[in-house]
Structure 1
Amino acid sequence: MAAKKVLVVLTSHDKIDAINRPTGWYLPEFAHPYHVLSGKNVEFTVVSPKGGVAPLDAGSIELTKEDPVSVAFLNNNKALWENTLPIKQFVGRSGEFDTIFYPGGHGPMFDLVDDADSIALIEEFYNAGKIVSAVCHGTIALVNAKVNGEPLIKGKEITGFTNAEEDAVQLTSAMPFLVEDRVIAAGGKFVQTAVFGNKVVVDGTIITGQNPTSASDLGEAIAKAIGA
């Protein structure tokens, strides 16, 4: 059976501007879906706005040093995020993939939220009936996508990093906006569980996870949706 193919979109943004703190993408939010999917004959292509090295949030390395899945991914898969291809090269190529996936980390709040090529790809995947998936802050990439002139997530059940979770990590004031607020502003039905609890939401072809804790189950939901 032919391998299923995932287009992973990572941030190129490496700092929280307001406080000059390093950031990027969040290790377990790529590591855990990768762990689930790579065991199911799934191939990965990784892109970012700038191409080249997609910055990995060093804080996420420290916080997951006791997580064997994240540690193994960090040690064995650096080529995935150190040699990313530019997003713009993939616009018009949704037919080559089964899903597009956005890991989180605070980086997407600054670049993927309004990256025109990323938005075009999301719209293209959605309109082609392909799976559009995101976890945690990765959900912010979906809020500006449109279908028939309306927000793509309007009326859809969506989750992502909650306002309470942003408060808990004490970064609310450093964010340009909040994931939960922007989902609601775009007409999405924001759903959530307890702070840092596991929550995955499937609404049609859109699959979202609330936070890092949700990453493994998000991977399983993607696998089911694409028949992996």
Structure 2
Amino acid sequence: MGIYNRYIDDVTKIGRSTMVLGFLASLLPALIMTFYFGFNPGLAAIIAGAISQASVSGAFYFSEPISYYPIVGRAGLYMGFLSGNLVNMRIPAAISAQEASECPAGTEEGSIMGTIGIGVSIWIGIVFLILSVLAGQALLSQLPPSFMALLTLVIPGLFGGVFAQFAIKSPKVAVFALAVSFTMTKLVNFIPGKPAFLITLVSVFSSILFAKKLMEKRVG
């Protein structure tokens, strides 16, 4: 067994353990409220809330691991899903690390560099989170409203930057993905309940299939 395979085996063992601990930690406040303080909305309300949440984000359980795995690898997925902010912080950090090291995504080296980028972003995020908790509100209250309005553009800017990095490498797939996502945002409005998760589900998997077809044509 190679070094990388041993590394992945260790990552899997640690990753599964930390994910279980994270799962239990996320349930801990609700369990304390239920069994210690006696506050509980009832089983019917819990099931209704779970179904409602699953209908909104259920597609991400399938699309995100598949679409992000080639970029960050197994370790990056464990770290990203446990720490959160995968799309708006971890993925850009992983891509930046791969670009700086010239280790392309989808390779063992690229996976390791993506993991390092995510790890650095997590530590930086912790530092800035502590600073924001201690002094963030006092600082933000002194900023002009025009600057606060600009902060709403940070997430679209990150998404656009990540998309542009991949669009340069495969313009045809980028145009196809844009066309499908735009079409789906319009079609969803005509579906009962407006299931927004279909936009991500259809866009991701149709783009993967389109890219696969392009690669087959080039090879053939």
The normalised TM-score by structure 2 is 0.30
Q: Which structure carries more helix by proportion? A: 2
TM-score, reference length from structure 1: 0.29
